[in-house]
């Protein structure tokens, strides 16, 4: 009946389902544990009429034209350039830390000297990861690096990861580099936009095809059995000869055979505030105060005229089985565990792994779409 079974309806599963249906004209069933599609990109209009992102703020940005064009088949876009301020020593300054942040934070003479020295060393418009800037020997630049490290990264990273910045993969803090210039935007990508009617609509449009069936509220283990010894897949008790595309947690798929892969999770607390606007920009980070890392106000992302506003506090915490696995903790040690799973998975020709959880990578949305399109071309088509 089905040529393909897909576990998970986030970007990885939905892109592949759409390609199988439209390009190959074959039949696919998506099995989704939650009561909705879209994975962590799921959004909806709350009781105030404001589109909120149920699993935390998702801001689409990419330099990949192919990905942007592909998604544009399923949505119109509103141009949106995300801005973030960090609350530091009683002031709200732009993040990534840039020349404007320097001018707001320090007295004029010092600020000018810091900017001059940065410009001598780095190209205008370039991005310098904090752990790189920390290697500076010049007294002024060292002062600046230590300031940013202490006030922007150290405590935020402790809350987010329960680790010091130098203990996590350098790729993670490099996502928010110091910016050599005055651009206050959080991202510099060529394409930055928000789907006009929200992300969920993209998924509805992708999956709206007679070849695609969807089973919500279903843990895949309720309908699929994998015989690991004989490398066979059973669907409702019958051997399934097609391909299984798995976008969930790789350690769960293989019954934690090589141990659990660690994640960080978030406690997300939404709040309605009885005023038109709560804060200056969509997201304000609080590296050094409170137990939450940031507050996001969704009205900035999806403008709407109402006298109330919806905000979201993010409280990071350690992941335990059953929580939502938001962030993989990819230390070298955890990568080794992951590699064991991946190697083991190679023995299963009919199982294809793709997505943030199956790949155990800190993917952005565009990375997942790109990856899913590649996997379709290379392993399915």
B/e letters for 279-313, b = 16+ CB within 10 Å, e = fewer, are: bebbbbbbbbeeebbbbbbbbbbbeeeeebbbbbb
Q: Does 325 bind ligand UDP (CB under 6 A)?
A: no
What token pair was written down for 140? 């002024």
User: Which of 175/241 has CB closer to ligand UDP?
Assistant: 175
Residue among 331, 318, 322 at smallest CA distance from 265: 318
Residue 122 CB, shortest distance to ligand UDP, in Å, is 20
Residue 267 CB, shortest distance to ligand UDP, in Å, is 14
> Under DSSP, is residue 206 helix (H, G, I), strand (E, B) or coil?
helix
Q: Does 285 bind ligand UDP (CB under 6 A)?
A: yes
Number of residues that bind ligand UDP (CB under 6 A): 14
Block residue for tokens 């969920």: 200
User: Which of 157/334 has CB closer to ligand UDP?
Assistant: 157
Omega of the bond leading into 183 within 30 degrees of 0 (cis): no
Q: Does 296 bind ligand UDP (CB under 6 A)?
A: no
In sequence order, what are the beta bridge partners of 244? 5, 351
**Binders of ligand UDP in range 95-134 (CB under 6 A):** 95
Residue among 78, 47, 107 at smallest CA distance from 271: 47
In sequence order, what are the beta bridge partners of 366? none
Q: Does 153 bind ligand UDP (CB under 6 A)?
A: yes
Given the rule CB under 6 A, which of 112-120, 171-179, 199-207, 297-305 is the region that contacts ligand UDP?
171-179
Q: Does 194 bind ligand UDP (CB under 6 A)?
A: no
Residue 182 CB, shortest distance to ligand UDP, in Å, is 18
Residue at shortest CB range from ligand UDP: 156
Q: What are phi and psi of 19, to 5 degrees?
A: -65, -45
Given the rule CB under 6 A, which of 14-22, 156-164, 192-200, 370-378 is the region that contacts ligand UDP?
156-164
Interface residue list for ligand UDP (CB under 6 A): 86, 95, 152-153, 156-157, 160-161, 172-173, 175-176, 285, 287
């Amino acid at each position: 009946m089905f040529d393909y079974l897909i576990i998970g309806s986030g970007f990885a599963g939905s892109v592949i389902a759409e390609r199988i249906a439209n390009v190959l004209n074959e039949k696919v069933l998506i099995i989704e544990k939650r009561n909705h599609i879209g994975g962590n990109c799921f959004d909806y209009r709350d009781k105030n009429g404001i589109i909120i992102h149920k699993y935390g703020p998702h801001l689409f940005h990419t330099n990949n034209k192919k990905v942007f064009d592909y998604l544009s088949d399923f949505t119109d876009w509103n141009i949106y350039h995300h801005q973030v301020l960090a609350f530091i020593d009683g002031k709200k300054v732009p993040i990534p830390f840039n020349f404007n942040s320097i001018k707001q934070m320090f007295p004029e003479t010092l600020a000018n000297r810091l900017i001059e020295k940065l410009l001598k060393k780095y190209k205008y418009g370039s991005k310098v990861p904090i752990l790189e800037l920390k290697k500076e020997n010049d007294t002024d630049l060292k002062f600046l690096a230590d300031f940013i490290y202490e006030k922007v990264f150290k405590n935020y990273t402790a809350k987010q990861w329960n680790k010091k910045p130098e203990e996590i993969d350098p790729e993670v803090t490099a996502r928010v580099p110091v910016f050599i210039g005055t651009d206050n935007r959080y991202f510099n990508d060529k394409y930055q936009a928000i789907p006009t009617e929200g992300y969920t609509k993209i998924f509805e449009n992708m999956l709206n095809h007679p070849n695609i069936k969807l089973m919500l509220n279903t843990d895949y283990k309720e309908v699929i059995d994998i015989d690991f010894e004989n490398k066979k897949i059973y669907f409702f008790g019958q051997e399934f000869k097609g391909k299984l595309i798995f976008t969930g947690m790789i350690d769960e798929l293989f019954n934690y055979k090589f141990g659990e892969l660690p994640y960080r999770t978030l406690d997300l607390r939404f709040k309605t505030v009885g005023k038109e606007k709560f804060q200056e920009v969509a997201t304000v980070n609080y590296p050094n105060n409170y137990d939450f890392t940031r507050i996001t106000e969704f009205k900035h992302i999806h403008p709407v005229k109402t006298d109330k506003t919806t905000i979201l506090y993010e409280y990071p915490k350690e992941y335990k089985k059953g929580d939502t696995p938001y962030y993989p903790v990819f230390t070298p040690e955890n990568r080794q565990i992951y590699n064991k799973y991946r190697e083991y998975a190679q023995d299963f020709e009919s199982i294809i792994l793709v997505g943030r959880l199956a790949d155990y990578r800190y993917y952005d949305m565009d990375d997942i779409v790109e990856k899913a399109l590649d996997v379709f071309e290379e392993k399915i088509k």
